[in-house]
Amino acid sequence: MLLVGLSLLTAAPTTLAPPEASGTPDPAGRASRSSVWTGTWATTPTTVPATDTTTFEDQTLRQIVHTSIAGDSLRVRLSNEFGRQPLKIGEARVARRAPGANGTAIEPGSDRPLTFGGRTSVTIPAGEPARSDAVTLRVPARSDLVVSLYLPERTPGSTVNAFAFQRNQVARGNATGDTDIEPVSTMERWYFLTGVSVRAHRAGTHSSAVVALGDSNTAGSTVDANDRWTDVLAERLQRRAGGPRHGPVGVLNKGVSGNRLLHDPNPPPGNGAEAYAAYFGESGLRRFDRDVAAQPGVRYLVVLLGVNDLGHPGNIAPLSEKVTGQDLVAGHRRLAERARAHGLKVFGGTIMPFANDTFGYHSPENEAARRTFNHWVRTSGTYDGVVDFDAAVRDPDQPERLLPAYDSGDHLHPNALGRAAMARAVPLRYFG
């Protein structure tokens, strides 16, 4: 299900790896003391429903990530944040993906071992993340990296992003150092992998990152095509980066299909959503500290959340969680306040139209709430700027619905053309 949770408006504490501060060398001394670490790729981890019994043992996960900005060194963030037992990584490696590869083949000569405090293996306690030491590797902008994780012991797939829109592979045994592998399975998920940061700089400029906090309309892509609206935004920013005044801006996609601003997943007993709602992730407010404030180099935030808050109650969430346009306003005010407390510039996205959607979201009441919220975003001045996604993709003749040319077919999610229009709606002057 491509749909796009604060028990109320509070944030739970999240245990984090140490901040990626400037000038911290790894044990081998490979990172310069003038380093500035900036996120080039990220995703959001979630827990899994009880029905998901995915388990790995004596297997290698080969997972592809698509960078946004370039660097000469990198660090990888792993996560066992939703695990109930320690996560043993027997070996981990990173490499550039081979040019033209359809699978996870790596570019010869680019393979590097990942170490953690100088060790080639690491055990991550339940509920915790881990960050690798710095690795010297040329990382091009808007390119693919392959991260290989060897899991020697029986390992439940408990920490995952289940909507990667990227085909990754699983191989038998320790295949982390193999140029190519014979996969035993393919998956459109990222397991235990949540971020890559790079040492990115250009003379006279400073790197920074923008986080896109959202739901499936932020996470969504054609499988393996990297055509999320954030990918298109990264391309626009790369073209701008050649100018004399602009440093690299990493784009970090923190969209989770099914995510809500105000509530965690909460399917009613007996509802079919019990089989998948856990993948929707913690509410936008609850995950703010980890997914926004703790991201390396973050300076900007774009928020597109609220459609699932309107559509889930009475559908795949209790009717008691029904929200009004004013409830969304209150939640977004709280989010903007927290972003500013961390020194961020924060930009509010309008909720896109969803008339006649196939998921049962649309109603006159929800349409009125959407309009109330969008009017507030455009006129209140609460945000530092507005990204008018609604205006970018709506049908001018029937503004309650998506423009047919931008409609994926379910009348809720834009297609690739629509996602490109969303990216074009983001003013580049907001960044820098």
The domain ranges of the chain are 47-197, 202-430
Q: Which residue has the higher pLDDT, 23 or 377?
A: 377
pLDDT mean over 50-64? 98
- Per-residue confidence at 176, pLDDT binned at 50, 70, 90? very high
- Per-residue confidence at 200, pLDDT binned at 50, 70, 90? confident
Give yes or no for residue 410 having a pLDDT over 90. Answer: yes
Give yes or no for residue 136 having a pLDDT over 50. Answer: yes
pLDDT mean over 12-29? 40
- Tens of pLDDT along 230-279? 999 999 999 986 554 678 999 999 999 999 999 999 999 999 999 999 99
- CA separation for the pair 145, 77 (Å, rounded): 14
Kindly report the three-state secondary structure assignment for every residue of the chain: CCCCCCCCCCCCCCCCCCCCCCCCCCCCCCCCCCCCEEEEEECCCECCCCCCCCEECCEEEEEEEECCCCEEEEEEEEEECCCCCCEEECEEEEEEECCCCCCCCECCCCCEECCECCECCEEECCCEEEECCCEEEEECCCCEEEEEEEECCCEECCCEECCCCCCEEEEECCCCCCCCCCCCEEECCEECEEEEEEECCCCCCCCEEEEEEECHHHHCCCCCCCCCHHHHHHHHHHHHCCCCCCCCEEEEEEECCCCCCCCCCCCCCCCHHHHCHHHHCCCCCCCHHHHHHCCCCEEEEEEECCHHHHHCECCCECHHHCCCHHHHHHHHHHHHHHHHHCCCEEEEECCCCCCCCCCCCCCHHHHHHHHHHHHHHHHCCCCCEEECHHHHHEECCEEEEECHHHECCCCCCECHHHHHHHHHCCCHHHCC
Give yes or no for residue 357 having a pLDDT over 70. Answer: yes
pLDDT mean over 192-208? 85
pLDDT of residue 247: 85
CB 66 within 8 A of CB 144: yes
CB 64 within 8 A of CB 145: yes
pLDDT mean over 128-144? 98
- CA separation for the pair 125, 193 (Å, rounded): 15
Task: Of 268, 301, 267, give the one whose Cα is nearest residue 284.
Answer: 301
CATH number of 202-430: 3.40.50.1110
pLDDT mean over 369-384? 98
* pTM higher than the cut 0.85: yes
Give yes or no for residue 110 having a pLDDT over 80. Answer: yes
- HSE-CB at 378 with a 13 A cutoff on CA atoms is 12
Give yes or no for residue 121 having a pLDDT over 70. Answer: yes
Mean confidence (pLDDT) of the chain: 92
Sorted by sequence, the CB contacts under 8 Å of residue 377 that are 6+ apart come out as 332, 348, 349, 350, 383, 386
Which of 85-94, 97-106, 240-249, 307-316 is predicted with the least confidence, judged by mean pLDDT?
A: 240-249
- Sign of the CA dihedral running 231, 232, 235, 236: negative
Give yes or no for residue 168 having a pLDDT over 80. Answer: yes
pLDDT of residue 33: 34
pLDDT of residue 202: 62
Q: Which residue has the higher pLDDT, 9 or 42?
A: 42
pLDDT mean over 309-338? 98
- Per-residue confidence at 9, pLDDT binned at 50, 70, 90? very low
- Tens of pLDDT along 29-52? 333 334 589 999 999 999 999 999
pLDDT of residue 204: 55
pLDDT mean over 360-369? 98
pLDDT mean over 71-98? 98
Give how far the C-alpha of residue 400 lies from the chain's centroid of Cα atoms, to the nearest Å.
28
- Per-residue confidence at 384, pLDDT binned at 50, 70, 90? very high
- Per-residue confidence at 313, pLDDT binned at 50, 70, 90? very high
Give yes or no for residue 17 having a pLDDT over 80. Answer: no
